[in-house]
Amino acid sequence: MLSEVQDNPFNSRVFFEDEDVKNLASSINQLGLLQPVKVRRKGTAYELAYGHRRVRAARLLGWTTIPAEIAILSDEELFALSLAENLERDDLSDYEIGLSLSRLHKNFDKSYEEIGSLIGYSKQHISNLIAMTKLFNEEDLQRDPTLRDSLREISEHHARLLSRIDNGEGRANALHLIVTEGMSVRDLQRAMQKLGGWFYAEGPGPPDHPATPKRNSEENDISQIRRLLLWEYELPHTGDFQRFAHFHNFNGDFSIVPSYRPTRLYQGEDAYLEEKNWFYSVGPKVKARIEEMKVRFYGEVALALLTVSYDENGASHKAFGSVLFVKRRAWRIVHEHWSNMGHSDPLP
């Protein structure tokens, strides 16, 4: 019975994408379950060795039972099976692999050499992956949950560069920049050399690079806020809504008063859907430029006042905007209010 199946407490997969589970459920509904899950007895219930997404998909379909193989497994064997199955599918992020290897090392007293023999990785590769889990402590991750999501998006090669940044805030800024910009390892190397003052807010500059003077903190913040506002208009042309959503506070108290509809305040889910609709239906048709911008700071809150010119379908117009930001490691947009300043004649 599915109601008796419990998650593997040693599961190497930390994150499950809802969309992936929905797609799997659709496939199972059409083709059936092609491979049973594997479980071990745990009291009156069963613990999964592997097949977590299959179980989630089956529950989504309303199944009450699922085909399963029952095995006698120790904790270590349960852990190893889960890790091996996910590595074989090649669908774990480097960060998730690092977390699993760290648990093998700590919980089961496995040396890096023993872990390497178990999964076919070199000792150095094991060391690099485990080091990735130490970029931020648990307090950092609790304070800024977006750090975990961002860590999933980068490779252990990115992580090795991030580890050179001693300042915690600079490391977090660099991590978010990698994800929002889709930076390669080479891109990150170049950025750390050119923008050392931003990444190294305290202490020396990057290795093999002259020490970089600390940039004015407010100047840095203004630069970041301007970049986010420019991305507001550039990203719809790429279709990358995930990156767009990353610097909006959609999971919190985001709200917006748009200029292209009758004046109304959208909040919560309505605001998210309104922005998503604009991103896909309006944004790609618009070319915009910021003509004026002033930023006022109130501690960890910033208010950007700006005038933006738009070119759309041969016509141009301007809008005045007030955009409210909150700093949670990186700046996030929490509210936008836009007002039209009038249209001009079609462009020649």
Q: In whole angstroms, what is the distance from residue 260 CA to residue 277 CA? A: 12
Q: Is residue 130 part of a domain?
A: no
Question: Using one digit for the tens of pLDDT, what is the confidence trace for 1-58?
Answer: 788 888 877 776 666 667 778 888 888 888 888 888 888 888 888 988 888 888 888 9
Q: In whole angstroms, what is the distance from residue 147 CA to residue 288 CA? A: 31
Is a pLDDT exceeding 70 seen at residue 215?
no
**Domain boundaries, position 182:** 138-215
Work out the pLDDT band at 345, boundaries 50, 70, 90. Answer: very low
Q: Is residue 106 part of a domain?
A: no
Q: Identify whether residues 2 and 39 lie together within a single domain.
A: yes
Question: What's the one-letter identity of residue 314?
Answer: G
| Token couple for 227 | 């970049």
User: For position 191, what pLDDT does the model report?
Assistant: 75
Question: Using one digit for the tens of pLDDT, what is the confidence trace for 1-15?
Answer: 788 888 877 776 666
User: For position 95, what pLDDT does the model report?
Assistant: 92
Q: What are phi and psi of 321, to 5 degrees?
A: -130, 145
Q: Identify whether residues 237 and 330 lie together within a single domain.
A: yes
Q: Is residue 103 part of a domain?
A: no
Q: Identify whether residues 188 and 239 lie together within a single domain.
A: no
310 beta partners: 288, 317
Measuring CA to CA, which residue among 91, 154, 89 is closest to residue 128? 154
User: For position 16, what pLDDT does the model report?
Assistant: 63
Is a pLDDT exceeding 60 seen at residue 343?
no
Decide: 156 and 147 in contact? Cβ < 8 Å. no
Q: Identify whether residues 183 and 240 lie together within a single domain.
A: no
- Tell me what the pLDDT averaged over the chain comes to: 82
Q: What is the DSSP string of 112-127?
A: HHHHHHHHT--HHHHH
Report the CATH number that the domain containing residue 261 is assigned in CATH. 3.10.450.50
Report the CATH number that the domain containing residue 86 is assigned in CATH. 3.90.1530.30
Q: Is residue 55 part of a domain?
A: yes
Q: Is residue 108 part of a domain?
A: no
Q: Residues near 65 by Cβ (< 8 Å), separated by ≥ 6?
A: 1, 2
Q: In whole angstroms, what is the distance from residue 233 CA to residue 224 CA? A: 15
Q: H helices then E strands: how many in the chain?
A: 15, 10
Conformation bin of residue 328: beta by default, left when phi > 0, alpha when psi is -120 to 50: beta
Q: In whole angstroms, what is the distance from residue 49 CA to residue 69 CA? A: 10
User: For position 213, what pLDDT does the model report?
Assistant: 37
Q: Identify whether residues 197 and 252 lie together within a single domain.
A: no
Q: Is residue 54 part of a domain?
A: yes
User: For position 133, what pLDDT does the model report?
Assistant: 92
Q: Is residue 120 part of a domain?
A: no
What is the number of structural domains in the chain?
Answer: 3
Q: Is residue 182 part of a domain?
A: yes
Question: Using one digit for the tens of pLDDT, what is the confidence trace for 110-159?
Answer: 899 988 888 888 999 999 999 999 999 888 888 887 888 889 889 999 99
Question: Using one digit for the tens of pLDDT, what is the confidence trace for 311-333?
Answer: 877 778 888 999 999 987 788 99
| 244, burial (CB in 10 Å: exposed 0-12, middle 13-18, buried 19+) | buried
